[in-house]
Amino acid sequence: MSKVNLVQLLVTLIAIAITVPVLGYNGDAYYAPLDANETYFNQLMLTIYVDETGKALVTGYMDEIEGLSFLKTAQYLYENDTHQLYALTNSLTSKEGDLWALNFTATSYYTDYHTVFYLPKEVQLGQITCSTGLTHLVSVSNESLVIEIQGYDVESPVVTIGYQQPLKEGGGVEGRSSLRSLLPVIAVIGLVLLLIILVATKKRRRAKEGEEDVRRAEATHLEKGEIEITPEMTRVIETLTERERAIVKALIKHHGEMTQADLRYETEIPKSSLTGILRALERRKIIKKKEWGRTNVIELSDWFLSKKGGQ
């Protein structure tokens, strides 16, 4: 497969990645595996496209990005609302002689881990090394070599893929043809950067609109009376995790109702984690969530405030 075809494939994959939901994501609802207490989950579902120069386009979905060290030197955009990640980096691959190595490390605990690597079809695949708990599957699809890695409840997973590029033919003509073949790659990189800028601009616009929605929500917020904490409420609170207790106590302090943004600032819980914790509390019927424009208002549920306690 020529470099031009590879670039065309990357353009198609980029378009797909930006216009359709990523692995495991479907609008506001996505599958979230839980632990025994039904409180913690952390998903990583990424697709990595690697070109012949070793540069990688990373796109997909994950709850928290703190565990991806390569982002420190990458150009990337992370959507807090959708948990989608777009990144462009050359730090995932290294070369020694004619041998290449792709190293992907995520330093965190993941209840659901799924990565898919796309390499040029003509490469010679070497050894694939995965951390304990991960399995891999190799296939060919869309003129690319596909390595799929999956695992559940894994700690700081590491994936290393060795491969070798095909030998080039020709003498002085090779330099000129290599330069020409790099032009489409440069064009793809420019396209990716343009898409990142457009998405970032749209994100800032949505953030501004969201701030206006928050102000409107706060302007119409009905002040409630002091909430008396009953023994039944205390027993329910004692069954919660530390972060869940922090959320409930903050709501009690603010008379049972807060915007989601204010709740995040009050508890200092990362936005990516807060969404999952609120979902867990909502399943237990301790809180309820109301949409207000582009933001949410979080309230203590009538069940929790009924002083009846419960399961």
As a three-state string, the secondary structure of the chain is CCHHHHHHHHHHHHHHHHHCCCCCEECCEECCCCCCCCCCCCEEEEEEEECCCCCEEEEEEECCCCCCHHHHHCEEEEECCCCEEEEEECCCEEEECCEEEEEEECCCEECEEEEEEEEECCCEEEEEEECCCEEEEEEEECCEEEEEEEECCEECCEEEEEEECCCCCCCHHHHHHHHHHHHHHHHHHHHHHHHHHHHHHHHHHHHHHHHHHHHHHHHCCCCCCCCCCCHHHHHHHHCCCHHHHHHHHHHHHCCCEEEHHHHHHHHCCCHHHHHHHHHHHHHCCCEEEEEECCEEEEEECHHHHCCCCCC
> Of 196, 42, 58, 183, whose CA–CA distance to 116 is shortest?
58
Give yes or no: residues 185 and 257 share one domain: no
- Which residues form the domain of 260? 231-305
Say which amino acid occupies 190.
G
- Whether residue 215 lies inside any domain: the answer is no
Count of CA atoms in the C-beta half-sphere (13 A) of 73: 8
Residue 224 phi/psi, 5-degree rounding, is -105, 165
Structural domain includes residue 186: yes
Residues 6 or more apart in contact with residue 5 via CB below 8 angstroms: 143
- Judge if 84 and 13 occupy the same domain: yes
Whether 260 and 182 map to the same domain: the answer is no
What is the C-alpha separation between 287 and 245, in angstroms, rounded?
12
Does pTM top 0.85 for this prediction?
no
Check: CB of residue 83 under 8 Å from CB of residue 112: no
- Asked whether residue 110 falls in the same domain as residue 198, the answer is yes
Residue 310 domain-assigned (yes or no): no
The residue written with tokens 């982002």 in the block is 71
Same domain, 56 and 103: yes
The first and second tokens of residue 132, run together, are 């304990």
Same domain, 165 and 44: yes
The one-letter amino acid at 232: E
Question: Which domain CATH number covers 240?
Answer: 1.10.10.10
Do 57 and 159 fall within a single domain? Answer: yes
8 Å CB contact between 108 and 42:
yes
Angle at 18 between CA 82 and CA 121, to 5 degrees: 125
Same domain? 162 vs 253: no
Q: Looking at the domain assignment, is residue 151 inside a domain?
A: yes
Count: domains in the chain: 2
* Residue 23 falls inside a structural domain: yes
| 274/242 same-domain check | yes
Verify that 174 and 96 share a domain, yes or no. yes
Q: Are residues 123 and 159 in the same domain?
A: yes
Q: Residue 89: inside a domain, yes or no?
A: yes
Residue 217 forms part of a structural domain: no
- Domain boundary among the residues 176, 208, 240 is at 208
pLDDT by position in tens, the chain (length 311): 444 444 554 554 454 444 433 333 333 333 344 433 444 678 899 999 998 888 999 998 888 888 899 999 988 888 877 788 888 999 999 998 889 999 999 998 888 899 999 998 889 999 999 999 999 999 988 778 999 999 988 999 999 999 998 765 554 434 444 444 445 555 555 666 666 666 666 666 666 665 565 555 445 444 456 788 888 888 888 888 888 999 999 999 888 898 888 898 888 888 878 888 998 898 888 999 888 777 789 999 888 888 554 44
User: Are residue 32 and residue 133 in the same domain, yes or no?
Assistant: yes
Domain assignment present for residue 110? The answer is yes
